[in-house]
Amino acid sequence: MTDQLQAATTPVAARPRAAASPLGPVALTTLLFGAFLPMLSFFIINVALPAIGSDLSASSGELQLVVGSYGIANATLLVVGGRLGDGFGRKRLFLIGLTGFTVMSLICAIAPTIGVLLAARVVQGATAAAMTPQVLASISSLLTGEHRARAMAMFGVAGGAAAALGQILGGVLVEANVFDLGWRAVFLVNVPVGLLAVVAAIRLLPETKADKAQRVDLVGATLLALTLVLLLLPLTEGRPLGWPLWTWVCLAATIPAVVVLGLHQHRSEQASKSPLIPPTVLRLRAMRIGLLLAVAFFTTFGGFMFVFALATQGEAHMSPLEGGLSLLPMAVGFLITSIYGPRLQVRYGAGLILRGWIIQAVGYSLLAIVALTIWPDVNPWKLAVPMLVAGFGSGLVMVPLIGVVLGQVPGAQAGLGSGILLTSQQTCLALGAATVGTAYLSLAGTSWGQGGALAAVAIAITAISLLMTPVTHQLRSRP
């Protein structure tokens, strides 16, 4: 994403120790909101989807787009946002992104129709893409030694906490229905936090730029966006519309779109330009393995969080608060691994991810058993053990994944590799809502019911987790 990002992947022992940090605790916390708020906004919405559908008369496909449109815009522009920050100033881009994100959160909160909400979510995802890359780049350029290592660990904790706590907070806000806001509160909560962060950023964050800014690959970004839309739009809208001809045309057009994107990236690199997704980085063995692991994890994780909210508030007749509390054990497991993951990563390396896949498989297997045996007679207590185990395993996969993979990539290419991995993260979260969500909704409308459909999703994630263990084993066992 940026040249400075590669420094974030240097082993702690190899980094110089800094006597003092140029980023104080308040300034660093302000910067970390650039990682926390975008991830929170992705997951907090899931538990509010049934209420949004009822209030705005939205179809199931449109609800999937509420999640997916944000992810598509964010994934497409992450690398662009990083390179714009290098050239025009990271503090400046951070403030632009944070201000835009706050304004779009307000527009989402007051949206009168599903169309307005979807449009605002696209822009919200784009502003998040302007903000998040500046966090990593600023940490890497301003901090060294133990200060940088600690800040990078906190970056992981911020993202993990947002993913784990998002749906719980969403459930609390929807259930509380403060001032009759209902689901709108899940967007409105970003506004005061965003405003405080903007003020703090103006006063506390120093400005940094890259010594040599890279050219922005706008053509590559456009082609990537086109490819994602051609793939995700028919996957989300096809089922509720009965799979009309245009959906199949779009899916077929995805293949030539990928080919054109690949050719453009290859030619840009051959011409010594700055392609969005450099083919030479993709040819690295560690990157190929890392991308496969990222696709498997983030697609299934994003899809599960989407369908779990629908299932608990469907046949199980849980309130938004109960649905959110059902995820509390997963949040606890996730937060534990987010905090201790960096330390465990130093000890176990890729072996930590391998253990995570196995533990995650056990957790989802237990959830499948619950869904097949006692559904819909479930409550947060009956789901606690499966969710705790699954959350612990998921944290062991997600927290060290980027660091372990980039630790095996040459330093000169680590910055680009991190951008590709973060882009794949956001792409696959959106892809999960589209693909896993469509599969779940298709099964839930048959004799399987919502419990059977949730069990099928859990079994599929179990199988994928076990399939990823030999793939993970191909990474070096030690960082």
pLDDT score, position 16 = 42
Digit-coded pLDDT (tens) for 15-72:
444 445 677 888 899 999 888 999 888 888 888 888 999 999 998 888 888 988 898 8
CA 465 vs. chain centroid, Å, equals: 18
Q: Which residues of 323-352 are buried (b: 16+ CB within 10 A; e: fewer)?
A: bbbbbbbbbbbbbbbbbebbebbbebbbbb
Closest CA to 299 of 469, 455, 459, 431: 431
Digit-coded pLDDT (tens) for 313-339:
888 889 888 888 898 898 888 878 877
pLDDT score, position 34 = 87
pLDDT score, position 321 = 84
Query: CA 51, CA 314: separation in Å to the nearest integer?
Result: 12
Query: CA 410, CA 413: separation in Å to the nearest integer?
Result: 6
Token reading at 48 = 């509010």
3-class secondary structure, 184 = helix
**What residue type is 379 in one-letter code?**
N
Angle ∠(276,280,281) on CA atoms, nearest 5: 70
Closest CA to 434 of 186, 251, 184: 251
Per-residue pLDDT of the chain (479 residues; tens, 9 = 90+): 444 444 444 433 344 444 456 778 888 999 998 889 998 888 888 888 889 999 999 988 888 889 888 988 888 888 788 888 888 888 999 999 999 999 999 999 999 999 999 999 999 999 999 998 888 788 877 877 677 767 776 776 777 678 778 878 888 888 888 888 889 999 999 999 999 999 999 999 998 887 776 777 888 888 988 998 898 888 878 877 888 999 999 999 999 999 999 999 999 888 888 787 888 888 888 888 888 998 999 999 989 988 998 899 888 889 888 888 898 898 888 878 877 776 777 777 778 889 999 999 999 999 999 999 999 999 999 999 999 999 999 888 887 777 677 666 665 565 566 677 778 888 888 888 888 988 998 899 888 999 999 999 999 999 999 999 999 888 765 44
If phi > 0 it is left, if psi is from -120 to 50 it is alpha, else beta; for residue 433 that is: alpha
pLDDT score, position 378 = 93
Closest CA to 278 of 412, 417, 404: 417
Q: Beta-carbon neighbour count of residue 157 at 10 Å?
A: 20
pLDDT score, position 175 = 85
> How many residues does this entry show for the chain?
479
The DSSP call for residue 216 is P
pLDDT score, position 8 = 40
Looking at 208-365, which runs of residues are DSSP E strands? none
Query: CA 198, CA 30: separation in Å to the nearest integer?
Result: 8
- The chain-wide mean pLDDT, for the chain, equals 85
pLDDT score, position 1 = 47
Q: Which residues of 414-449 are buried (b: 16+ CB within 10 A; e: fewer)?
A: bbbbbbbbbbbbbbbbbbbbbbbbbbbbebbeeeeb
Closest CA to 111 of 191, 190, 184, 176: 184
Q: Beta-carbon neighbour count of residue 39 at 10 Å?
A: 24
Token reading at 401 = 């994944």
Closest CA to 186 of 330, 63, 43: 43
Closest CA to 55 of 240, 181, 186: 181
Q: Beta-carbon neighbour count of residue 45 at 10 Å?
A: 27
Quick check: bond before 400 cis, omega within 30?
Answer: no
DSSP annotation string for 369-405? HHHHHTTTS--TTTTHHHHHHHHHHHHHHHHHHHHHH
